[in-house]
């Protein structure tokens, strides 16, 4: 039987995962909702990565992928980069 400390730790990890899922779900919604011209496929590549994130994906890897996203060739007026940066800021705590 788990002790109270183990349950508190598990609950903290669960809360962190739920927060991560909420942020990533919002980002995926924003990326899907944005009409953009993406000739290099960078948005599709990021979306593919985000759809494969699991509870075992290190947070630093998720944040690093978001931080390295470059929208240079994404024609959308900066909406994609803003959504990605906002998500990275929310997860980089």
- Contact yes or no for 33/82 (Cβ under 8 A): no
- Contact yes or no for 61/92 (Cβ under 8 A): no
CA dihedral 61, 64, 70, 71 (to 10 degrees): 70
- Number of structural domains (the chain) is 1
pLDDT at 2: 62
Of residues 83, 86, 3, the one with CA closest to residue 36: 83
Query: In the beta sheet, which residues pair with residue 37?
Result: 75
* Tens digit of each residue's pLDDT (9 = 90 or more) over 9-22: 778 888 989 999 99
CB atoms within 10 A of CB 62: 20
* Tens digit of each residue's pLDDT (9 = 90 or more) over 72-82: 888 887 888 99
* Tens digit of each residue's pLDDT (9 = 90 or more) over 25-80: 999 998 887 777 888 888 989 999 999 999 899 999 999 999 999 888 888 878 88
pLDDT at 74: 84
| DSSP symbols for 3-34 | -HHHHHHHHHHHHHHHHHHHHHHHHHHHHHH-
pLDDT at 1: 55
pLDDT at 6: 74
- Please give the residue range of the domain that contains residue 82: 4-91
pLDDT at 46: 92
């Amino acid at each position: 039987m788990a002790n109270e400390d183990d349950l508190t730790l598990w609950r903290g990890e669960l809360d962190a995962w739920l927060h991560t899922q909420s942020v990533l779900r919002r980002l995926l919604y924003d990326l899907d909702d944005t009409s953009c011209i993406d000739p290099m496929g960078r948005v599709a590549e990021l979306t593919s990565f985000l759809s494969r994130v699991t509870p075992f994906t290190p947070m630093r890897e998720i944040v690093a992928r978001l931080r390295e996203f470059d929208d240079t060739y994404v024609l959308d007026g900066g909406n994609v980069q803003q959504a990605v940066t906002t998500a990275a800021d929310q997860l980089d705590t």
